[in-house]
Amino acid sequence: MLKKAAVVGFAIALGACGTPANVKQIQDQNATLQGKLSAAEKNIVALKNEQSRLQQDIAEYKRVIGVLGTEKNSRVSESTSLRGQVRGLVQSQIDGLKDFLVEGNLLDYVGGELVARSQVDEKPVAVVDLANPVPKAGVLTGVGAFWQQAGTLSVQVLRPIEKELVVIWSSKDWRVDSAGYQRHNFSVNVGVEKGDVIAYSLSTPQSISFDIGTGDTRYLSDDLSIGDGFRASGLKGAKERRAYSLGVFALLNN
């Protein structure tokens, strides 16, 4: 009897699941899912189309950027070439003017008289010409000296900064092979300001002579390098009042 009751109950339940109302509900849910699936497929197609369009836009932007880069490089190249030509023209004019002034002995001069003098240094020395500061702003073009014998020197520009003289520029070594008056042009013009002081590093003893009591050139035994700073009161020779046969040539402002 229990088995028959179970079979009858299962049949009743199965029949309830298969009623028209339940079938209609399942069909409606299926239709809804189909609609959502169709809408999702349409969205996927739309997104793929949008992705394709964006990739085309990116490709076009890259092409435009490439064209602009090429145009910019072309303009930069042309501008650089033009600036180079202008600088070359100006430099040639400056060189020509400097040569004219040198040949005509029309350059400004800052320093001691370039003549033979009575005394020489027995050791290498750096001398600082406090008697002849640069009187006006401008550019230095070269150096002159009266040599007692062959030797080597370099030129330094010192600038007064907070009560010290600071080395702001140093030339390459200038080597001469014979005595007498010699003149040398710097490879580049050197800008100077009013009040700058000129120093000379004499690496060869007895090469440049000096007199006592006619100037205010002081000295030190150390080499002068860019960035070095010292007080004028710390230099040797204040009481000797040396004057050396050294000076610089310049184009100074009027």
- Between CA 210 and CA 245 the distance in angstroms is 6
Give the pairing type, strands 209-220 and 119-120.
antiparallel
Window from 33-37, 66-70, 109-113, 240-244 with minimum mean pLDDT: 66-70
Identify whether the C-beta of residue 226 lies closer than 8 Å to the C-beta of residue 169.
yes
Task: Note the pLDDT of residue 59.
Answer: 84
- Between CA 209 and CA 116 the distance in angstroms is 7
The string of pLDDT tens digits covering residues 73-121 is 777 777 788 887 887 787 677 667 666 666 556 789 999 999 999 999 9
Type and span of the H or E element at 58: helix 20-103
The string of pLDDT tens digits covering residues 21-62 is 788 888 888 888 888 888 888 888 888 888 888 888 888 888
* Domain boundaries 109-252, corresponding CATH code: 2.60.120
Task: Note the pLDDT of residue 132.
Answer: 97
Task: Note the pLDDT of residue 81.
Answer: 80
- Between CA 167 and CA 156 the distance in angstroms is 7
Residue boundaries of the structural domains of the chain: 1-106, 109-252
Task: Note the pLDDT of residue 43.
Answer: 86
> What is the token pair recorded at 221?
């035994």
Please, which residues have CB within 8 angstroms of residue 248's CB and are 6 or more apart in sequence?
A: 109, 110, 111, 140, 142, 143, 144, 155, 198
